[in-house]
């Protein structure tokens, strides 16, 4: 028997999303904070009313989820004030500080805000973050977006003028809290070297955990790998790959200690779908690649389900080699 109440349908979807992301979901009358590292308790009472879900990591409150039925997804931003009030409130039986992690979700669309950021703003996320991720974040003094504010001045030694401008403008974009940036450089201007330079800075100075470098073809992936293998930063006598692990994905395995993962979009899609990939799908140029053209010709987004092996927090930054940018209108 299926529950047809729109609110409950949304809650059922949210419950499953939480479970998939490693949380144990409990009712307020049967709570046991020792049951798991991450526990989500429904209808937890606060001093401003019951929060739809209160999130606990290691028995400590860390966040709030405001649940809405699916037809309210188009104005989820408008309920941020409500979820913010719950996060700033006192939970029953607890003298907690304001909770830093806030979600609004319909079970189909989910938005997330990290209140530790210098200019907190909500953003769309594919699912909920895992308890282990939140545990790690709480051990850090400041958030990643806060650390981006303190990137040191770029040492321009060995860089071309266009590369200097590209990196400095990109880092200005980070500091201005912009979620996406585009670097336009002429062919042969050294865009991969530019990428290796700013990725090195993100890993060393911003404390990024892992960066994904996404390309169209296996050949471009091999070229990018070679660039990282030969790259040597100006402030260290060691090569990039002596400092950070670089992995070019040739299977579904992503090493836990890889700081840079190089992948074709085809390979990444197959990993997210849990499917094997014929290596020939990575060989062709984008213009003749049947797989890419099939995806580009579709009129709607390519569906991908949540996979525990590659959770949403797997990569802090995604760098896309957009030599053939139209291909990424998938």
Q: Going by C-beta distance under 8 Å and a sequence separation of 6 or more, which residues neighbour residue 111? A: 76, 77, 80, 103, 104, 105, 122, 123, 124, 125
Which residues, including other chains, have CB under 8 Å from residue 251's CB and lie 6 or more apart?
Answer: none
The Cα 200–Cα 214 span in angstroms is: 16
* Residue 175 CB neighbours (<10 A): 14
Tally of CA atoms within 13 A in the half-sphere of 141 that contains its CB: 3
The residue among 80, 114, 139 that closes a domain is 139
Q: What share of the chain is helix, strand, coil (3-state, %, to 5)?
A: 40, 20, 45
Q: Are residues 11 and 149 in the same domain?
A: no
Total-model pTM: 0.89
pLDDT tens across 186-216, in order? 888 899 999 999 999 999 999 999 999 999 8
Number of domains the chain is built from = 2
How far CA 259 is from CA of 200, 213, 315, in Å, comes to 10, 11, 9
- Which of 106, 139, 172 represents a domain boundary (last residue)? 139
CB 1 within 8 A of CB 17: no
d(CA 155, CA 165): 12
Q: For residue range 86-143, what is the model confidence (pLDDT) as tens digits? A: 999 999 999 999 999 999 999 999 999 999 999 999 999 999 999 999 999 999 989 9
State the pLDDT confidence band at 62, using cuts at 50, 70 and 90. very high
Return mean pLDDT, the chain: 90
Q: What is the largest CA-CA distance in the chain?
A: 68
**CB-count exposure of residue 123 (10 Å: 0-12, 13-18, 19+):** exposed
CA torsion sign, 257 to 112 to 26 to 307?
negative
Give the per-residue pLDDT at 242: 98
Within a domain: 180: yes
Q: Which of these three, 124, 139, 154, is where a domain ends? A: 139
Same domain, 131 and 149: no
What range does the domain containing 217 cover?
145-328
Q: What is the average per-residue pLDDT within 47-75?
A: 93
Residues in the chain: 330
DSSP summary character for residue 189: S
Answer whether residue 1 is part of any domain. no
Give the pair of three-digit tokens for residue 75: 């104005």
């Amino acid at each position: 028997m299926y529950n047809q109440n729109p609110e409950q349908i949304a809650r059922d979807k949210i419950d499953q999303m939480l479970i998939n992301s490693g949380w144990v979901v409990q009712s307020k009358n049967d709570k046991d904070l020792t049951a798991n590292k991450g526990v989500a308790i429904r209808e937890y009472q606060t001093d401003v009313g019951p929060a739809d879900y209160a999130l606990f990591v290691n028995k400590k409150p860390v966040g709030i989820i405001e649940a809405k039925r699916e037809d309210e997804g188009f104005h989820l931003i408008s309920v941020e004030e409500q979820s913010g009030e719950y996060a700033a409130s006192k939970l029953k039986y607890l003298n907690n500080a304001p909770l830093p992690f806030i979600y609004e979700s319909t079970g189909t669309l989910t938005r997330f805000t990290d209140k530790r950021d210098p200019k907190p703003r909500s953003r769309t996320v594919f699912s909920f973050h895992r308890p282990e991720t939140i545990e790690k974040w709480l051990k850090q003094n400041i958030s990643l977006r806060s650390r981006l504010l303190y990137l040191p001045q770029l040492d321009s030694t060995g860089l071309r003028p266009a590369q200097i401008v590209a990196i400095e403008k990109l880092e200005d974009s980070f500091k201005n809290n912009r979620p996406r940036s585009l670097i336009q450089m002429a062919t042969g201007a050294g865009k991969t070297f530019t990428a290796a330079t700013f990725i090195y800075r993100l890993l060393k100075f911003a404390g990024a955990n892992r960066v994904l470098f996404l390309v169209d073809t296996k050949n471009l992936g091999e070229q990018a790998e070679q660039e990282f293998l030969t790259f040597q930063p100006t402030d260290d006598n060691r090569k990039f790959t002596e400092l950070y692990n670089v992995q070019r994905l040739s299977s579904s395995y992503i090493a836990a200690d890889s700081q840079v993962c190089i992948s074709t979009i085809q390979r990444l899609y197959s990993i997210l779908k849990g499917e094997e990939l014929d290596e020939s799908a990575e060989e062709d140029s984008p213009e003749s690649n049947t797989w890419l053209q099939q995806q580009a010709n579709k009129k709607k987004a390519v569906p991908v389900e949540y996979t525990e092996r590659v959770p949403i927090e797997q990569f802090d930054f995604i760098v896309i080699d957009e030599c053939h940018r139209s291909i990424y209108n998938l």
